[in-house]
Amino acid sequence: MRSTSRHQGTAVVAAAVAVAFAAAGLTGCEDAARSPSADAAQESAEAENGKNDGTAEGFGGDAGELEVGTEVRPGLYVSTGNEFCFWRRDNGGDVPVASDAPVGTSYVRIDGTDLTFTTEGCGDWRPVPEPARAPEGGPARKFPGDAGVLLIGVDIAPGVYLSTGNDEDCFFQTMTDASHEWQSLGEPGVVAGDGTARIDATEEGTFLRTMGCQDWAAGPE
């Protein structure tokens, strides 16, 4: 499902981001980012049991609507291998606090003020230990163009990244946190006329989002 599903997935995310502004799992690349925070999350959370602000338990990606505080604890979570995933944060208002239909890896921060968290068709969610840990050998310096959301300083090394051979389906942006609230979303990047995309992912602890792009590699600062 390379061309059609990628095009549809990109359109869904681009539309979701556009609405947010108006309202004011990883594969490929032998040495690419593999979301180590997801791979180590369960083990780390167990080791830190009771020391991670109540995020020591994960939950299923098809769990449906969960009550925050009783069925799911506030905290940062990661889900990998997504293709037809949808999640939503609600606090009882007329519109969701945030929602997304991610591909690849997704991170979300569930706040204590949220009333419910809904997840459908996603990979299982695992708590991310605080502080999150990079894998042995350090964070990746290249990653797939359909990677999804990556944690800078853990999944990928801080730096400037380039991707070539792109068309209008390439979507990328930075995020200050994983709340997915409109104020956390950076302006979507623009692909140059020659198909080159460039993104500054220099701040550890923030996030980079990419889908529908060619693979990324660290470029000159």
Model confidence pLDDT, tens digit, residues 83-104: 999 999 999 999 999 999 999 9
pLDDT of residue 125: 98
Which residues have a Cβ under 8 Å from the Cβ of 177 and sit 6 or more positions away?
109, 184, 206, 207
Distance (Å, whole) CA 189 – CA 104: 19
Q: Is the pLDDT of residue 112 over 50?
A: yes
Model confidence pLDDT, tens digit, residues 7-53: 444 444 444 444 443 443 344 444 455 565 555 444 444 433 333 33
Distance (Å, whole) CA 3 – CA 11: 12
141 and 208 Cβ atoms separated by less than 8 Å:
no
pLDDT of residue 147: 98
Q: Is the pLDDT of residue 197 over 60?
A: yes
Distance (Å, whole) CA 21 – CA 145: 23
Q: Is the pLDDT of residue 122 over 60?
A: yes
Q: For the chain, what is the mean pLDDT? A: 83
- Domain locations in the chain? 3-32+138-218, 38-127
Single pTM value for the model: 0.76
